[in-house]
Structure 1
Amino acid sequence: MGDTRLIQGRYRLLDLIGRGGMGEVWRARDESLGRHVAVKCLKPLNTEHDPAFTRVLRERFRREARVAAALQHRGVTVVHDFGEADGVLYLVMELLEGSNLSQLLEGNKHHPLPLDDIVEIADQAASALAYTHQQGIVHRDLKPANIMLLTDGTVKICDFGIARLGTDIGFTSRLTGTGIAMGTPHYMSPEQIGGDQVDHRSDLYSFGCVLYEIATGVPPFDLEDAWAVLVGHRDTPPEPPRSHRAELPEEVERIILDLLAKEPDERPHDARELGRRIRESRTAYAHVPTVVSAAAGPPARSHLSAPSRPEQPPSREPRLPSWTRGMTTGHKAAGRGLRTTPPDPSAGLTGDWIARPSTGRVEEPVLAERPTPPPEVVAALAGRHTAGLSLGRLGRWTEAGEVHRAVAAEREHVLGPDHPDTLASRHQVGLTLSRTGRPADALREYTHVARGRERVLGPDHPDTLATRHDMAYVLGRLGRHFEAHQAYTTVLAGRARALGPDHPDTLRCRHNLALNLSRLGRLEESYETASDVADARARVLGPNHPDTLVTRYEVAYLLGQLGRWPEALRMYRDVAESRAQALGPDHPDALAARYEVGIGLGRLGRSADALTLYRALVDDRTRVDGPVHPETLRARHGLGVNLGRLGRWEEALAESREVCALRERVLGPDHPDTLVSRREVAVGLGWLGRWADALTEYRRVADARERVLGADHHDALASRNDEAHCLEQLGRGPEAVELYRRVAVLRQRRATGGH
């Protein structure tokens, strides 16, 4: 929506004031009533959903918007109107003047807020929660960014009802590398993590996380490994807040720890009880002398009047090894977002950065000749860079690419082409190109960044190795597997030297190296390497960590490639059970492992068992993803294949035809999955003796593969062999022989690299 857009002939958008996972927030003018309002425009992340999904989304939005609009309480944001304009769902809300708690912590250098402010915020927020819970509404996304402190001292909770819509429909972000669906893990209740039923007590837990952070300056599990954060919420007692801030009254600490009880029944019964305890705590601590904690830094002045600006943030010893600091967790209130590699002191955001020599020799530091840019310019670019990272985490790679290209150009102008921040932006440009199907362009961008980072930061700097690792990945996508192998080997050696053999980044590189070995046909080496990585990840991260299970999944695949299907089936089953337990039975990774269990059953001749599994999987995929989702259709394809193996060819043919038609409509006629289904149609026709019809389908597959992949691609050659076999069955021997000869010549040419 443009900034001159008039929505529904009434709301004129003026200024963009915020952007998040669910869309954008605009300052707007209500032309009918002459007042300023906030308009939130909600955009689904994936615009390729089928019409049934879109209908569900709109109906859910209207229902939740009505709920939000019906809430009338001083501590809840007022919703004036809602509707849909040009396919974009929108909410019209009161325009709030103030800051959210996340911004307050940022402005206070991540120091805790003053005690009086904490208690006042807690009291008002508890009142708002008590009211909304009484209406039967659970927020489910309470975090510092959703709690506003207005300029007049009023505390308001934002996004009631709509936060729930975002969680259920899929607006919230996903953690990079793990596939765990969530918003910010630092504020999730144990029951949310476990996929259990949530009620108002889940909000109390999340609110306890918020109070912990504003009282201490850090969330209860201040870890940068996403899995560790989740396990912390689920299994680990939080450190007492007074261990961070000694002057915190015991009564306030007890309230926070009670809110953070693992079992919902052990938390305060409801928000009314919470409010009563908060008000009682005011009297208890009123005459307690203040003792300044060395860890907490200097006491802050009241945020209800003016933000305090301490000079230095509090220092804390990390509670995980330092190498865990580079793993993605999403955003928490304290910080702008996490880097993908450990931070380096020389890669700051100021203009007078010092280039690190790549030779390893000790040299005199040389200040950049470029003048130091204004801090507000640098900060604005950093904010836009972070916004681009957020878009990427949400899967909106095209938009992320636009942001990063613009920021890269401006950083190059302001900071210089070799400044670490400029190179960081260009690295992200490469990533967005890779994620949007442009690996060749991504490779060019990565090559430039890798050279710059090696020159500025050194060959073994984590940022340099990260870029070379991504280069190896896109080389593999381009089919240049030998070059990818060389690149992975170089990165692996550098990471082992700089970070150690068991660092997660080192293991990630070894994991990818193992997969690339399989692409080179070196299956035994690939299997041995992947097995070693699986063991190391289990030792370092835990046996049920998503990264460990990803590698075990690949080990199972390699066992299948080696023909060791009984072992492959056992491992696939173990992975499926572990993922269902750790992530939930409906998580995409758990469902993917179940699909592979079906493959293993079919390969071992247990097609009846495979058929039972695939029927259940189709039902679950349809419920979770919808009837025409590619993974639902993949499960249906497996079902059809096993019907054929059981000799039920009429049923198999009907199933494969329907799947082929749906894949053609959803994915396109030349998509590899569509062509696999079309081949399955041809197989069914052949088994039913309808060879003329089968020949038509085999030729369609061969022509499409030849057109898309090239005449000498192994899939195209396999399809021509299918065609030749069909000609034989039709008694057209000479045509079949000629086609077999043509395939043999192309295969020989491919094997020798000739033209």
Structure 2
Amino acid sequence: MADTRLIHGRYRLLEVIGRGGMGEVWRATDESLGRRVAVKCLKPLGPQHDPGSVRVLRERFRREARVAASLQHRGVTVVHDFGECDGTPFLVMEHLEGRNLSQLLEDNKHHPLPVDDVVDIAEQVADALAYTHRQGIVHRDLKPANIMRLADGTVKICDFGIARLDAGPGHSSRLTSGEITLGTPHYMSPEQIGGGRVDHRSDLYSLGCVLYEISTGVPPFDQDDAWGILVGHRDTPPEPPRTHRAELPAPFERIVLDLLAKTPDARPADAGDVRRRISDARRAVPAGATPLPAVPPHPATPPHPATPPHGAPVLLATPPGPDTGAQGRAARRTDPPSAVPAPRAPAWTRTMTTGRKAVGTHHPRPVPPPDDDDPVTTLTGTWTTGAGTSHLGTGARTGPGALGTGGGPWRPQGAAPDAPAAGTDSGTHRFTLPPPPGRPPRGSEPQAALADRHGAALRLARLGRWAEAGEAHRAVAAERERVLGADHPDTLTSRHERGVALSRAGRVAAALRELDRVAEARDRVLGPDHRDTVATRQESAYVLTRLGRHADAHRVHAAVLSARARVLGAGHPDTVAALQEVAHALGRLGRWEEALRTCREVADARARARGADHPDTLAARYEVGIALGRLDRGHEALELYRDLTAARSRVQGPEHPETLRARHGLGVNLGRLGRWEEALREARDVAATRARVLGPDHPDTLVSGREVAVCLGWLGRWAEALTGYRLVSGARERVLGPDHPDTLASRNDEAQCLEQLGRHTEAVELHRRVAAAHRRRTPG
């Protein structure tokens, strides 16, 4: 998947921002709509995995798409699309700029979060859970790593990979396999552990575990092995949170302990009731509460569990194994032999590891990376960000379409790790990466410090703080130039990243100057075909497009295409992706005949490599249809979109977003041929389906709503058209803001419709408002 870069002809993968045992999340750009998204991919599974487990994993991934796409709430991550690329399922979600609760605890040096933050997070999560439970959905894996807090304070629940749908045809209540465990030990309810019936109250128990941890810094049952944790959930009352942190409000502590009741009936009735109680408890939060620097760290050993009832066995945190006789049994118990043993947890827990909780104790030990074969981290392992993983010579994949700016040669797929890049001297320009920060060799302290500063600048960029990121990269570049030299690849990496940051901050002219200088230097130092040189050239092409210099952008895209073809070959996916960029550039120049030929080349190449029905091939055929339409070859375009709709329906289903996109193209070309009644019927049907599948405010739904209004206008039904245009512009203003280009385009549609209705005064006033908004967007 990572080698493809452009998937579905639409989503350009930029950099990995999260990774779990069996999947990864990419920051990406939706090139069709020009917006930033996150793409979650399930890793390809090899022959070492049991076929039944593979089937379950893939079905669970599809279930996550279906479940999340059905939810529309500010506290739940929005899902835009789902599909497969080369047999690998992927999920397209809104891109969230923020930190999950696990990361917030780590940022806070494993101290608990401020009390007012804890209460605010609790209230928002309870509200989102109340909504999801009303939809008949139980999350079943609520934990700090699956709860995001955005920069504006909004809290969102993520990752519905093992959610259960309580209602609806075709949904089973359980989806499991002998090798796969549902849930994460530190946050599992007793009924999950015992294999009993799981309903919305299991999520409430997990919420109690999360609130306990962010309130105190440790989970309610914090032991080193899964068995001890599970036994704690099942048998041991939790220590009251205020024993760890005295200033927690007593009403809030009562809520947490009620959520952690061992039996579902003893917990609150629903998440709505929890939210109301938290709102009441908020009044008890001290004004201006701050983090708790004075909290003493917990001892390295976990706290002793609460004393069990008299006569009950005290179980040690050791899973039951083969019976080794009286001596073995005595080693696992401290009670008299005559005591009745507690019921055991189910057999599947015996090989279970703890997975990855949010933080550890206040003296955390190093956590090894997740094992791809670990059944617990398969889908429930923490998604870890890429922050802090960049070292000298490895720049971030931040630009649209960037192949990466890392040091080292650009190797064709399948080349040996030490193979030199084509067109480069294998004996030159090789630099040894330093060890991770904290363990630099003698004499390398300046480079390690600069690597840390480079990583910090990349993290600023990931937060969208582009101006600060650009200044940080400028400072690192200046220092690297002093220490390493102006042409050292690490110096050039910092300058490349500065160019990217300048571009994202809106300083496109300055970005182009910086990127051009970097491209010239990389050409001289690394060679014209090195991947870093090509990445900078491609970034320059995007900046040229933003500056309206489409001829120059086309020239640079063509050079990128030539370099990729020389190094990777004409049929490599990245080469074909570059060919599609050339086609887009030709279209922006109005050279539609050439664009049509190039789009057909792309479609033919993808058909040869992946098959006629592969989604990427179908995406390339869609681009062919656009070119045909621009050339007023409506009859050909209409037939292409009919065939494309049939193929998409067969491969992806009649309600898949790409099938609906093909139907939209069909309707547009019916209009081009003057068949407006047919076009109106098609547009209305597509709009209704998109509203049901994607939501009424989804950008694709609004595009269809506008198409309905266009058809009504051509039929002379201007009053109805005005209503349609106003619905679209109102939704865009609500979702995107009053000054967004799409909102302003919709307001222009309204104004033109008012002109047709003879309401000239209103039309003039609306035109003035749009013009004023454009001036605000482009001051000076």
With structure 1 as the length reference, what TM-score do the two structures score?
A: 0.49
Q: Which structure is higher in helix share? A: 1
With structure 2 as the length reference, what TM-score do the two structures score?
A: 0.47
